[in-house]
Amino acid sequence: MQVLIASAARHGWPAGPGPRAASRRAWPSRNGASPVPAHKWATLLASMTLALMTAVSVVGLSVDDVYRAPKSVAAMLRGYDLVSLAVAVPALAVTLLPRFRESVQAQLLRLAILGYAAYNYASYVFGTGFSTVFLLHDAAFTVATFALGFSAASLDLGRIYKSFRPSTPTRAIGGVLALLATGLGAMWIFYSLRFALAGELPKESLLVLPEPNLHLAYVLDLTLLVPGYAVAAALLWRRTRWGYPMAAALLVFSLVHELNYVVALVFQSNAHIPGATALDPQALVVIAVTSAATLALFAGTLRSSRSVLPAQPPSGHRPWRRRGR
């Protein structure tokens, strides 16, 4: 037994069986270096994302002509900057506080905001030309994407699954996700087929956008959002382990993303963009339904569930070898 304990310590695995020790276990390093847990990389990258989101938003709102793009696109991105600074940045900051960051709710909320950041800054990187903040936008997009990946990899799906009450209305929430997938997908596919058959240019809700930015919106939604909604709906309907974090992340993402849309409409209207409309009543319905589903899902989490960090090594991994008796 002494040999096992000593060998475990040398490989970076705590000997203590307590929950706090288990939550900080790391995969052993094969080259003798001190192992760094995946969740610490996730926290570091999320903190960098927070700093970059703040910088991008402040610059976008305070510096005139920072976006070398059509006036309608510049107004839209400034609306996005306001939502990021007023909603996404504070939410991500709370999830990084030491007091909250190991809770299930904080982990799921962080995953959602990082997903929002990665998706959002894709619009900046691919939807605008060179500017004085080109590298800042690239950095925000890259760091947010890697932070999202590390955060997803550091989740303990078993603990997340057990942290939800059996009474959580997963099928009703999954139905909302399926409705989002069906509504968004059907709308974009209809406009795309109409363009293919009749040559009529597709449209993007009530936002006024030039064709390249319109095409980018369709690409991001049809390749990322619609499949994501559909998969999350199916997994949550079946109560699988991945269904809960995917559903939580996509629902919160949808709320912030819809706020982007609502605020962008106001910014375009205030910028006197021809054809701009200040309000889309359908967006308010989407926000109300998505908010209800989000509250129902997060209300199903148990307050006593504190940690969702990995407690086990990868399947098939042998952290130590018994030597003798």
Render the burial of 252-289: b for 16+ CB within 10 Å, e for the rest: bbbbbbbbbbbbbbbbbbebebeebeeebeebeebbee
Rounded CA-CA distance 35/321 in Å is 18
Query: Phi/psi at 164 (nearest 5 deg)?
Result: -95, 135
Average pLDDT on 125-133 reads 88
Rounded CA-CA distance 98/112 in Å is 19
Q: Which pLDDT value is given to residue 11?
A: 45
User: Does 16 or 231 have the greater pLDDT score?
Assistant: 231
- Is 22 buried (19+), middle (13-18) or exposed (0-12) by CB count in 10 A? middle
pLDDT digits over 168-211, tens only? 999 999 999 999 999 999 999 999 999 999 888 887 778 888 98
Residue 301: beta bridge partners? 164
Q: Is the dihedral of CA 45, 48, 54, 57 positive or negative?
A: negative
| 3-class DSSP string for 31-84 | CCCCCCCHHHHHHHHHHHHHHHHHHHHHHHHHCCCCCCCCHHHHHHHHHHHHHH
Q: Which pLDDT value is given to residue 276?
A: 87
DSSP 174-242: HHHHHHHHHHHHHHHHHHHHHHHHH-PPP--TT----HHHHHHHHHHIIIIIHHHHHHHHHHHHTT-TT
pLDDT digits over 282-315, tens only? 999 999 999 999 999 999 887 544 444 444 444 4
pLDDT digits over 26-64, tens only? 444 444 444 456 678 899 999 999 999 999 999 999 998
Query: Phi/psi at 124 (nearest 5 deg)?
Result: -70, -45
pLDDT digits over 254-283, tens only? 999 999 999 999 999 999 999 888 888 999
Is the confidence at residue 10, as pLDDT, over 70?
no
Half-sphere exposure of 109 (CA within 13 A, CB side): 22
Q: Which pLDDT value is given to residue 200?
A: 83
Rounded CA-CA distance 250/257 in Å is 10
Mean pLDDT of the chain: 84
Rounded CA-CA distance 175/172 in Å is 5
Lowest mean pLDDT among 98-102, 115-119, 123-127, 293-297: 98-102
Structural tokens at position 63 = 């510096």
pLDDT digits over 139-179, tens only? 999 999 999 999 999 998 998 999 999 999 999 999 999 99
pLDDT digits over 56-112, tens only? 999 999 998 888 888 999 999 999 999 999 999 999 999 999 888 888 999 999 999
